[in-house]
Amino acid sequence: MTPGQSILPAKGGHFDRPARRQAQGDTGKTLPFEQIALKVHRDGGVIAVRRGIHGLTKPRYWFILYSTMIQSMTGFGSAEQDGYRVEVRSVNHRFLDLHMRAPSFLNQLEIPFRNLVKERFARGKFDITVTVSELAASALSINTEAVRKIYGAFKTLQAELSVKGEIDINTFVTLHEMFIETSPKYDTALATDVFSRALDDLSRMRGKEGEALAGELSGMAGALLKMNETIRGLAGGMVSAVKDKFAERLAQLLEGQEPDQARILQEGAIFAARLDIAEEIARIDSHLRQFTEILSEGGIIGRKLDFILQELNREVNTIASKAAEYAVSILTVEMKTEIEKMREQIQNIQ
């Protein structure tokens, strides 16, 4: 799909719940697909819905439905036009935390601005600064009625006192403070547009950073999978080695006496069960497959991936406690180190 490409779903279809809520717009009613056009929002990979609904007075508002790209929570975005400037910085955070600094005369836009951020992002700490220069904050107007009165007064004075000369534009230039008024006037639509473009810029940066993180995590998951396969290969020999050591140790203790075979088999079965790591190896494989699938799907996945890594770490710890081979112990240490690196990276994924 390309930016601006329309996607009209099948007639009579229905939005999922988040899409229906966004599609309700000002009407408060769930609307059919035929009245809504889905578009790819700019070039950030974000799917958005644009109001194209008959009867609405504001057809240019965009609402985010979902994003298929992985986003980092670290980024910076800015936009500026005609005296309005917006800067947005974001860092990682467990929830969505907004801090906004803006001139007091834009207080009426604070809630709409916060809603724009919530529609675009799910997690992160955001520091937002909105500044307005004099270029955007003033408008000049001429009080034409005052000019007429001044002109009339000059003409009357000229007639009464027989004063010669012309009353031209230069006369009024010197008196401009009497009829030129400066009043504050702010374009809220332009301010909102600049704010939205700053969020676009932030989204692109977060997306690029997220893509890089996803590549690193994918490589780390592959390394874990290889180490798990190596442990799988060592697991069979580990039981055999322990069995041989057990038989040798038992022979030394009995010193030629006849052992109780039933008791030996019972104790051996218990000991072998304690050493068996096949289930842990299988679960690690399953967790890694799930990790890779979620990573490829994208979207808001940070917490899901963090949970899977917790489960992976638990399984590796179990293998480490059962390990009777030095090589297996070394591999579990390497795996736990890799998992810790992955958890550090995931803390920055939305």
HSE of 302, CA atoms in CB hemisphere, 13 A: 21
Based on its alpha-carbon atoms, the radius of gyration of the chain, rounded to whole angstroms, reads: 36
Res 51: pLDDT: 36
Tokens of 119: 């529609």
Question: Tell me, what DSSP letter sits at residue 69?
Answer: S
- Cα–Cα distance between 253 and 299 in angstroms, integer? 62
Cα–Cα distance between 348 and 212 in angstroms, integer? 12
How far apart, in whole angstroms, are the C-alpha atoms of residue 336 and residue 91?
Answer: 26
pTM over 0.75: no
Pairing mode, strands 139-142 and 62-67? unpaired
Whether 86 contacts 129, CB under 8 Å: yes
What is the pLDDT, as a whole number, of residue 299?
A: 87
Taking the C-alpha atoms of residue 124 and residue 212, their distance in angstroms, rounded to an integer, is 18
Q: Which residue has the tokens 């951020």?
A: 117
CA-to-CA distance for 275 and 234, rounded, in angstroms?
12
Q: Position 98: which residue type? A: L
State the DSSP string of 92-103: --SSEEEEEE--
Per-position pLDDT tens, the chain of length 350:
333 333 333 333 333 333 433 444 434 443 333 333 333 333 334 333 333 333 333 333 333 333 567 899 999 999 999 889 999 999 999 899 999 999 888 889 999 999 999 999 999 999 999 998 876 665 567 778 888 888 888 888 888 888 788 888 877 777 766 666 665 667 889 999 999 999 999 999 999 999 999 999 999 999 999 999 999 988 876 666 666 666 666 666 666 666 666 666 666 656 666 677 889 999 999 999 999 999 988 888 999 999 999 999 999 999 998 887 788 899 999 999 999 999 999 999 99
What pLDDT was estimated at residue 12?
Answer: 34
